[in-house]
């Protein structure tokens, strides 16, 4: 038995259950008359109505985005860059804003709370030819929200509106906004903020249906996304807890959102985008990747990391990425422990050779 695979009887039961769920989903699509691939438009940017990759600082870099796009992510948003930092020649500008041809359609994401710097930041960002510019009004981490940016903008609707207005006024591409449900359970104002974004010229709004204080815990509340969809006329992108074809279909069905966005569900799992694409194109479901395929894609991902960032930085960041790909397989804890010691590309090859030898590959 290959490592990471279920025993035969368990595997058959799992596949039957999955096939039944997908059969139910397909029946609903046929009954609704949605058998063909659909597309949405954000400004002039056309995007397949499958699943997009969410912006994730420190994770969704060029290498990550490239692999996810190769497996079918419909749209990508880059790591957030500081509006004020751009204006002061932040040395990481190129790394954060650069987009390759294989990632498109793609957006760059900006964060900040200084409208007076917005025009200059947009001018710098547009040198990298993004298809879309996205304003981060949802990041919950203290170093961002604690300085008045990210999700803290939702506590100040007037300032939020000024930020959107300034970006839209300076940009030559569509401007979108990513928000959360609100600051906390007592201050759920996603609908108000989305309405302001629309009034100020935003072309779409993405909603992570958790509050700032939830961070990434608990469950995303799809009712928030549904309420935003009923509030605005611009496209609404739903984000939160999607890690399967079934949850993607449920997000569309239960919220009426125009596009689904996937974040943590994509960790070490680019096949999720393939499976969602197959489902909405009406293609048969494919089997989950065998261990050797998982190792091949992991290797390619990490080689891209090293190509983009050099061996020293790339291999340090590869430790977490490699661990994502090995999650759930036989002896995963042992191999993930070894991932934490990756320093050189040769270390990666040794790890892959060990896994293959211990799993008869």
Integer Cα distance of 226 and 253 in angstroms: 10
Host H or E run for residue 175: strand 175-182
Reply yes or no: is the peptide bond before residue 255 cis, omega within 30 of 0: no
Q: Report which DSSP code applies to 78.
A: E
Kindly state the tokens that stand for 252: 């569309």
Integer Cα distance of 227 and 225 in angstroms: 5
Residue 355 CB neighbour total at 10 angstroms: 24
SS3 (DSSP) at 164 = helix
SS3 (DSSP) at 347 = helix
Integer Cα distance of 144 and 56 in angstroms: 13
φ/ψ of residue 86, rounded to 5:
-60, -40
* Catalytic residue IDs: 139
Kindly state the tokens that stand for 56: 């994730």
Host H or E run for residue 326: helix 291-326
């Amino acid at each position: 038995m290959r490592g990471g695979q279920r025993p035969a009887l368990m595997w058959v039961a799992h596949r039957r259950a999955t096939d039944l769920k997908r059969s139910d989903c397909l029946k609903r699509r046929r009954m609704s008359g949605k058998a063909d691939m659909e597309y949405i438009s954000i400004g002039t940017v056309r995007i397949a109505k499958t699943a997009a990759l969410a912006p994730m600082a420190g994770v969704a870099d060029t290498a990550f985005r490239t692999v996810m796009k190769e497996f079918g992510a419909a749209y990508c948003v880059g790591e957030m860059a500081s509006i004020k930092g751009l204006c002061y020649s932040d040395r990481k500008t190129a790394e954060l804003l650069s987009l390759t041809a294989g990632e498109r359609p793609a957006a760059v994401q900006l964060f900040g709370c200084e409208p007076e710097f917005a025009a200059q930041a947009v001018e710098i960002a547009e040198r990298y030819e993004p298809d879309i510019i996205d304003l981060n009004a949802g990041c919950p981490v203290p170093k961002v929200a604690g300085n008045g940016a990210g999700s803290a903008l939702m506590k100040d609707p007037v300032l939020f509106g000024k930020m959107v207005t300034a970006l839209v006024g300076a940009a030559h591409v569509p401007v979108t906004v990513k928000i959360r449900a609100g600051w906390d359970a007592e201050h759920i104002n996603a609908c108000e903020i989305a309405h302001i974004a629309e009034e100020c010229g935003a072309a779409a709004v993405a909603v992570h249906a958790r509050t700032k204080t939830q961070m990434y815990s608990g469950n995303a509340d799809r009712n928030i996304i549904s309420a935003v969809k009923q509030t605005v006329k611009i496209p609404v992108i739903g984000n939160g807890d999607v890690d399967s074809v079934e949850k993607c279909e449920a997000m569309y069905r239960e919220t009426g959102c125009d596009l689904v966005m996937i974040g943590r569900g994509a960790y070490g799992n680019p096949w999720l985008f393939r499976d969602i694409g197959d489902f909405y194109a009406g293609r048969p479901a494919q089997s989950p990747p065998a261990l050797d395929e998982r190792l091949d894609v992991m290797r390619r991902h990490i080689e891209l990391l090293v190509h983009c960032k050099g061996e020293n930085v790339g291999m340090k960041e590869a430790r977490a990425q490699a661990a994502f790909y090995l999650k759930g397989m036989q002896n995963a804890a042992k191999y993930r422990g070894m991932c934490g010691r990756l320093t050189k590309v040769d270390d990666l090859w040794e790890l892959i050779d060990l896994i293959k030898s211990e799993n008869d590959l």
